Amino acid sequence: MLKAAFAGAALLCATTLSYAHGFTVGDLTIQHPWARATAPAAKNAGAFMLIKTTKDDQLVKVDSDIAEKTELHEMKMADGVMKMSPIASLPVTVAAPAKLAPGGYHVMLLGLKRPLVAGEKFPLKLTFAKGGVVEVQVKVEDMTYQPKDDAHSGH
Amino acid sequence: MTVYMRCLLSLFSLLAAALLLSACAKKLTFQGSDISDSQIGQNFTLQDQHGKPRQLSDFQGKVVVLFFGYTSCPDVCPTTLAELRTSMQQLGDAAKEVQVLFVSVDPERDTPQLLAQYVPAFNPSFIGLTGSKAQIDETVKAFRAVYQKQGNGPHYTVDHTAGTYLIDRNGQTRVLVNYGAGAAVFTHDIRQLLEQ
Ligand SMILES: [Cu+2]
């Protein structure tokens, strides 16, 4: 009985933990903002996350101190070539959360001032049309990290 | 039925079985796109992350996995290299007969030193290749791939062919695996080529 209770508590903790890396401000929830660690001399990186909302909104601006330029990007496949281009805004609706994931949208960090080291975090400012500014801590994952649940969601 | 006829019959069935077997051995089915007839990908000369000259023919006898990219690539390259890392783990011992080559399409920034910080981080056996712009252009052309620098100044990005080429032990390009196909597709198609 006691054992079962402990197991239950442990399970609860584990469940809580897996959602621990998220940020909720007003109507907006930003889940697991992450980036891959970079080679020491690499210049660019992408940051990914899932943005949910309880009121339709739009992500209109991204800022960070870690790179010289921070942009919102879209990836599109054209004739076997993956093309990346800046976009002005990204809708976040109650029906469709904004998924920033490999193969789709990402926050582009251009001209990294220092390499991204696995285990570290860096701040990223997201500006929403209605929700205002939300600051999140982007978790730097291993260079070899592959998101499990949303690996190919960008297609 | 006479003994003679029975003997003939079993001989026929043996022959049929043998034919069927040999047909099976030749017919490879890939999960990626079969580009065996395209005749693409010729020998190239580039430098690896230690500055050592490398040619495609150096890897004859191994199944070569070739991918174009650059170290400042935010998405496609680390995703593909991470999938290949997983695939090598799935292949286990057979991975020793596979050589992953990451060919840079960013010769301005991707020095051998930078490739050394990046490519082997995914798997110590992976080799990063770079060279002069002319050498890289020639290699890209040989594989009918493309790349295009985007933007000016130091923070430019490079659009490039996102597929991965699988080359058999004889140096013939056989399969093009699309971006995002996943490690299991690599493992399946590499196994097909290894068992060929
Ligand atoms: Cu980008």
Residues of B in contact with A40 (CB under 8 A): 117
B117 belongs to a structural domain: yes
d(CA A118, CA A97): 27
Q: How far is residue B72's CA from residue B88's CA, in Å, rounded to a whole number?
A: 23
Establish if A130 belongs to a structural domain: yes
Q: What is the CATH number of the domain that holds B99?
A: 3.40.30.10
Domain-located, residue B9: no
Which domain range does residue A86 map to? Answer: 23-145
Residue A151, φ and ψ in degrees, nearest 5: -60, -45
Tokens 């789709």 sit at which residue? A104
Q: In CATH, what number is assigned to the domain containing residue A55? A: 2.60.40.1890
Tell me, yes or no, whether B101 lies in a domain. yes
User: Rounded to the nearest 5°, which phi and psi values hold at B100?
Assistant: -90, 125
Q: What percent of chain B has pLDDT over 70?
A: 86
B150–A39: do the CB atoms touch at under 8 Å? no
CA B176 – CA A67 distance, rounded (Å): 35
For chain B, state the CA radius of gyration.
21
**What is d(CA A75, CA B179) in angstroms, rounded to the nearest whole number?**
12
From CA A78, how far away is CA A87, in angstroms rounded? Answer: 17
- Residue A17's pLDDT is what? 41
Is residue B2 in a domain? Answer: no
Closest CA to B171 of B26, B57, B27: B57
Q: For residue B84, give the chain A residue with the closest CA.
A: A144
Residue pair B32/B63 in contact (Cβ under 8 Å)? The answer is: no
**Minimal C-alpha gap between A42 and chain B (Å):** 5
Q: Is residue A15 part of a domain?
A: no
Per the domain annotation, does A154 fall within a domain?
A: no
Within a domain: residue A4?
Answer: no
Give the residues across from B65 on adjacent strands.
B100, B166
Contact call for B162 and A77, based on CB within 8 A: yes
Residue B66 domain flag:
yes
- Is A109 among the domain residues? yes
Nearest CA in chain B to A42: B72
Per-residue pLDDT reduced to its tens digit, B113-138 = 999 999 999 999 999 999 999 999 99
Q: Return the pLDDT at B9.
A: 55
* Residue B114, in any domain of the structure: yes
Contacts of A99 in chain B (CB under 8 A): none
Read off the pLDDT of residues B43-86 as tens digits, 9 standing for 90 and up. 899 999 999 999 999 999 999 999 999 999 988 999 999 999 99
Mean pLDDT of chain A: 85
pLDDT value at A7 more than 70: no
For residue A89, count CB atoms less than 10 angstroms from its CB and return exposed for 0-12, middle for 13-18, buried for 19 or more. Answer: middle
Q: Looking at the complex, does the CB of residue B109 fall below 8 Å from at least one CB of chain A?
A: yes
What's the domain count of chain A? 1
Query: Rounded to the nearest whole angstrom, what is the distance from the C-alpha of residue B43 to the centroid of ligand 1?
Result: 32
- Does residue B27 have a pLDDT over 90? no
Which residue among A42, A46, A146 sits closest to B118, beta carbon to beta carbon? A42
Q: Do A46 and B85 touch (CB under 8 A)?
A: no
How many domains is chain B partitioned into structurally? 1
The amino acid at residue B24 is: C
With pLDDT > 90 as the criterion, what percentage of chain B qualifies? Answer: 77
CB atoms closer than 10 angstroms to residue A41: 17
Q: Does residue A123 sit in helix, strand or coil? A: strand
Q: Report if residue B113 sits inside a domain.
A: yes
The average confidence (pLDDT) of chain B is 89
For B97, the domain range is 28-195
Contacts of B38 in chain A (CB under 8 A): none
Contact A80 B163 (CB under 8 A): yes
Mutate to test the interface with A, among B33, B72, B75, B77 (most CBs of A within 10 A): B75
If pLDDT is split at 50, 70 and 90, which confidence band does B93 have? very high
CB atoms within 10 A of CB A134: 19
**Residue the block writes with tokens 């597929």:** B163
CA–centroid distance, residue A72 to ligand 1 (Å): 7
Matching residue, tokens 């430019």: B156
